[in-house]
Structure 1
Amino acid sequence: MRLIYCSSVLLLLVLFPRECQGGNILVLPIEGSHWINMDVLLQALHSRGHNITIVRSSKSWYVKDKSPYYNILTVQVERSMDQKFIGEAINHALEFERGALPLANFLHLTVGMFGTFVDAHAIVGELLSAMLDDKEFMRTVKEGNFDMVLTDPCWGHGIILAKYLNLPLVYNIRWLIAGEAHLAIAPSPVSYIPITGSGNTDKMIFFQRVKNMILHIITQTQQQLVIKLIYQKLCDKYLGPDIDYNHLVLNADIWLMRVDFVFEFPRPTMPNVVYMGGFQCKPAEPLPEHLEEFVQSSGEHGVIIMSLGTFVSELPADISNEMAAAFAKLPQKVIWRHKGVRPATLGNNTLLVDWMPQKDLLGHPKIKLFVAHGGTNGVQEAIYHGVPVVGLPLFFDQYDNLLRLQVRGAAKLLTIKTVDKDNNFLNAIQEVLNEPSYRRNMQTLSRLHRDQPMKPLDNALFWVEFVMRHKGAAHLRTESYKMPWYSYHSVDVVLFLAAAGLLVLLTIFLLIRCLCTAMCKHKMKRD
């Protein structure tokens, strides 16, 4: 009997070897909040038996040099897009926004900071060159026998390295350099698809569509300039002059998109786009003892939490004081992630912390409200746990993220220019706390988000493993990006049909004219 059992097990191992073997995955992440959600995906891949190797710069400030679930390849670089670089850019943008008119701020963010934008990608280019020029590093990579490359294409180094190594490519994605990823891969009519930064929804009046088109042209121009100045030069140097970076970007096998249509406005998509919005969200775990005591001390009034994300730990002093004074007037307790100078107006009901277990707090039954900056991770966690939001967007996509919640009646949106005026902050908090529709609408979004046939993270894992099993997913990729623009939009076909139609009309006209002439001549002869 034991012999039969052992033979059966051996037969199963022989018949299904691929399902029992882990793959070798080369990962090129980016820093900040993008790394936080990439890290979730990597831990899940490791738990399924895959070997993870991460390429990071010697000046990385998020990716640790030691981990129980991934190996590290460190590239020596002279400079990096570190916390100081990003912090200075953000502080400059915040200072400008507070004093600028809307049009001036719009132009500053889209045009005025273009030099900073190019410099950031130049740093990424230096990282890629350091990799490819280091023979020992490349020997180590090639000996790794990797099955695929996983990268966030907001930076372009992973895309070029995957082509250099001739490996299948999977994206953990929402952004491509300067624009939202859908715009590159899927049909995206700007008549009803709002461009990030426009502040538009999917229902636009005429002048909103004008603004949408202008911003689309600006962002696409930015992207093409960065590609020309940075990434195409790297392609020419390391891959050859016949490789177009624009084509290379669109040649990825699977695009794991960090949104879903509970959050995003409906739009066209493609078969190799896999939606995993909220994949990083998990049920709440017990709070540390000191936080649990503080939360329970709130009684029936509950707790408000406030966090402005990875890059902003404190606001200008006048705004912080206004917020602290507003919190002090509330019966709720407040947990505020805040570093720097303690606000002078801080009330006894407010606890300042350097760090908070955000997902565990959001899942606690006593949490009534989330004051957030509108980063994708925080917004999706708020949706998952059904907690309404007062939004204070600061930069990048945050305004547009919060706008999607506000349109659905689950958030109240403020701006950095008006938050400290006319009790706007206090009024917004009281409105969301006292009007039941905000919580009701957010809980509806939470139920919709959770009602899926497969969890977002499991869906993402399936497609990563699918690419490794089949050495890519070429059958899902469109070849439309190889077409010139006039063929893609059928301009040549329209011109051909128009010319053919005119030719037919002209032929008919000439025939009628000839018949009329012949008839007239015949009549004249009879007369």
Structure 2
Amino acid sequence: MIKFRLMTLAALLFFAQNTNGGKVLVVPVDGSHWVNMKVLIRELHSRGHNITVIWLQTSMFTDEDSNLYESINLSGTHEFDEKYFTHFISSTLQLRRQFHSSISASLKAGDELLKLLQGAHKAVVDKTEEIFEDAKLMQFFQDAKYDLVLTDPCFGGGVLLAHRLGLPLVFNVRWTILEEGHHTVAPSPLSYVPIPGSQLTDRMDFWQRVKNVYIGLMTLVHQITLKQHYYAPFIHKYFGPDVHYDELVLAADIWLMRTDFTFEFPRPTMPNVVYMSGFQCKPPKPLPKDLEDFVQSSAEHGVIVMSLGTLVGTLPDDMAEHVAAAFAQLPQKVVWRHTGKRPSTLGNNTLLLDWLPQTDLLGHPKTRVFVAHGGTNGLQEAIYHGVPIVGLPLMFDQDDNLFRMKVRGVAKVLDIGTLDTDTFLDALKEVLHEPSYRENMQELSRLHRDQPMKPLDRAMFWIEFVMRHKGAAHLKTQSYKLSWIQYHSLDVIALLLFLIVVISLMCILTVKYFLSKVLGGRKRKTD
């Protein structure tokens, strides 16, 4: 009888949890962005919320059969698929190898990136239009009565759908269209807030500020071009001619920012920006026995972990040969995620894996160095576990991310274009044997961990806050409703200048009038 009552109580609690749970519509971005979005989905699911994810058949990482969420599988293909992305990675690596000797190669690499992003944004807008024109699907969304939309604003599909459905909007964000999220939502004075890609700190001399302004203007030009070409016609069609994309983005209720100020330079922020850097990090689990045996065989020398992220499983053959040859000359054991051809220079101390438990390895007490490409997720895990870095930036924001680690004294960054056995080996030895790298990273780790609540719990609180209150309007600035002239008070400045000119003219005329009277009176007396 007692067992039956306990089972009944458990069932009631389960159904109560699911009854009280919210309904979340997720519009993700593929690649590594999906990896961290799934962390939020998993936690929301564990709290009894019902999740629906929109994804394409051509997605590289989403899993239609996941038991964490229901899937809305949108058919169709576009040029921004795995095949195209593999080609892009290969050509980018080849171009980076020419950067140090060819300005044209650098410009061509930038054009390749813009072409990739233009194709991606076009695909997102086209697919969003298909959704809007599908009456049955839109009616399904309306009938589902979702509590909010959770999306990554790196692309605009989720933003557009949330506003079309009239739902509260929460961002899982590091990037918006061609810029870092802070630069979209918060004041960003170019005098001390570096533009991503500039590789500048918050302490800039005159010429560095010139460089920062120049890069900021170039970024703005690319943004305006992209938004006007792809998003503006769509928005005018479905939301009206007076609506602009930036207004829709800035109307989001909560910005869950995948960073914090152990990574960012100090800068202005906003009330609805919530920092959840390292939300995907967690204490390490025990390694599989064969991997643990390999790690333990390193004795006092320790282990080096190398991974270039979810998208890059291998390097060009000659680069891989240099990397393997450098590893072979070290007494440390090496665990390397490498899916390509086995290098002929590979030493007995190096273990190649198609996949590795990265966070568990980084949290292992024998891990000494992390060789990384500079993706945000990997760097945050390195900070969390206090492991110094040898950086090999490949594309996107990775140069900028690793620059931030370099200026904090926790990373040695190499140019992939000039990588050879000697330079890679020297970098590894420097980080292994110079104590400041590990000491600085461990201090960064202590700063990151010293928080009143875990980043993932903070993110969950604010997502559920938006559910409870149907938004967070009291935290949103109204600046997005102002024009550029109003935002910078140029109209007020113009009025004040006008008044100053008018008053000055009146004073001058008045003085001239009285002087003429006085001088005229004296002249008459003299006569």
Using structure 2 for the length normalisation, give the TM-score: 0.94
3-state SS in 2 of match to 1:417: helix
Partner of 2:83: 84
Partner of 1:66: 65
Gap change, CA 1:458 and 1:19, over 3 Å in 2: farther
3-state SS in 2 of match to 1:364: coil
Report the number of matched residues. Answer: 512
User: How do residues 1-400 of structure 1 correspond to structure 2 at under 5 angstroms?
Assistant: 21-79=20-78, 81-100=80-99, 101=101, 103-111=103-111, 113-400=113-400
3-state SS in 2 of match to 1:118: helix
Answer whether contact 1:57 1:127 (CA < 8 A) is retained. no
* 1:318-359 per-position Cα deviation (integer Å, ceiling 9, x unaligned): 111111111011010000100111111111100111000000
Q: Distance in 1 between matches of 2:86 and 2:485?
A: 42
* 1:388-436 per-position Cα deviation (integer Å, ceiling 9, x unaligned): 0011101111111111111111111111112217x11111110111011
3-state SS in 1 of match to 2:511: helix
Q: Distance in 1 between matches of 2:44 and 2:86?
A: 32
Residue type of the partner of 1:387? V
Using the TM superposition, give the Cα deviation of residue 233 of structure 1 relative to its aligned residue in structure 2, in angstroms.
Answer: 2.0
* 1:22-68 per-position Cα deviation (integer Å, ceiling 9, x unaligned): 00000000111000000001111111110000011122221101112
Q: Distance in 2 between matches of 1:102 and 1:261?
A: 36
* 1:229-273 per-position Cα deviation (integer Å, ceiling 9, x unaligned): 212222223333333222111111100000000111111111111
Using the TM superposition, give the Cα deviation of residue 172 of structure 1 relative to its aligned residue in structure 2, in angstroms.
Answer: 0.2
Q: Distance in 2 between matches of 1:115 and 1:419?
A: 27
Using the TM superposition, give the Cα deviation of residue 130 of structure 1 relative to its aligned residue in structure 2, in angstroms.
Answer: 2.4
Of 370-379 and 404-413, the range deviating more from structure 2:
404-413
3-state SS in 2 of match to 1:25: strand
3-state SS in 1 of match to 2:97: helix
Of 47-56 and 481-490, the range deviating more from structure 2:
481-490
Residue type of the partner of 1:275? Y
3-state SS in 2 of match to 1:99: coil
* 1:271-298 per-position Cα deviation (integer Å, ceiling 9, x unaligned): 1110101000000000011110000000
Partner of 2:407: 407
Of 424-433 and 488-497, the range deviating more from structure 2:
488-497
Q: Answer yes or no: is 1:467 the counterpart of 2:470.
A: no
Of 267-276 and 115-124, the range deviating more from structure 2:
115-124
Partner of 1:4: none
Partner of 1:518: 517
Answer whether contact 1:75 1:130 (CA < 8 A) is retained. no
Using the TM superposition, give the Cα deviation of residue 522 of structure 1 relative to its aligned residue in structure 2, in angstroms.
Answer: 1.2
3-state SS in 1 of match to 2:213: helix
Q: Answer yes or no: is 1:501 the counterpart of 2:525.
A: no
Identical aligned pairs, as a percentage?
53
Answer whether contact 1:76 1:130 (CA < 8 A) is retained. no
Using the TM superposition, give the Cα deviation of residue 103 of structure 1 relative to its aligned residue in structure 2, in angstroms.
Answer: 4.5
3-state SS in 1 of match to 2:203: coil
Q: Answer yes or no: is 1:437 the counterpart of 2:449.
A: no
Q: Distance in 1 between matches of 2:287 and 2:112?
A: 44
Gap change, CA 1:452 and 1:374, over 3 Å in 2: same
Answer whether contact 1:155 1:176 (CA < 8 A) is retained. yes
Residue type of the partner of 2:125? G
Partner of 2:424: 425
Residue type of the partner of 2:266? P
Answer whether contact 1:197 1:397 (CA < 8 A) is retained. yes
* 1:467-516 per-position Cα deviation (integer Å, ceiling 9, x unaligned): 11111111111111221212211222222212212222222222222222
Using the TM superposition, give the Cα deviation of residue 80 of structure 1 relative to its aligned residue in structure 2, in angstroms.
Answer: 5.6
Gap change, CA 1:466 and 1:105, over 3 Å in 2: farther
Gap change, CA 1:219 and 1:357, over 3 Å in 2: same
Coordinate RMSD, CA, aligned: 1.8
* 1:163-220 per-position Cα deviation (integer Å, ceiling 9, x unaligned): 1111000000011121111111111112221111122222223332222222212222
Using the TM superposition, give the Cα deviation of residue 111 of structure 1 relative to its aligned residue in structure 2, in angstroms.
Answer: 4.2
Of 141-150 and 211-220, the range deviating more from structure 2:
211-220
Of 443-452 and 234-243, the range deviating more from structure 2:
234-243
Answer whether contact 1:77 1:130 (CA < 8 A) is retained. no
Residue type of the partner of 1:348? N
Q: Distance in 2 between matches of 1:85 and 1:179?
A: 23
Using the TM superposition, give the Cα deviation of residue 102 of structure 1 relative to its aligned residue in structure 2, in angstroms.
Answer: 6.8
Using the TM superposition, give the Cα deviation of residue 106 of structure 1 relative to its aligned residue in structure 2, in angstroms.
Answer: 4.7
Q: Distance in 2 between matches of 1:321 and 1:315?
A: 9
Q: Distance in 1 between matches of 2:163 and 2:380?
A: 33
Partner of 2:491: 492
Using the TM superposition, give the Cα deviation of residue 517 of structure 1 relative to its aligned residue in structure 2, in angstroms.
Answer: 1.3
The answer for unaligned runs of 5 or more in structure 1 is: 1-8
Answer whether contact 1:370 1:388 (CA < 8 A) is retained. yes
Using the TM superposition, give the Cα deviation of residue 112 of structure 1 relative to its aligned residue in structure 2, in angstroms.
Answer: 5.3
3-state SS in 2 of match to 1:294: helix
Q: Distance in 2 between matches of 1:500 and 1:214?
A: 34
Give runs of ≥4 in structure 1 deviating > 4 Å: 17-20
* 1:340-389 per-position Cα deviation (integer Å, ceiling 9, x unaligned): 11111111100111000000000000000000000000000000000000
Answer whether contact 2:198 2:212 (CA < 8 A) is retained. yes
Answer whether contact 2:376 2:401 (CA < 8 A) is retained. yes
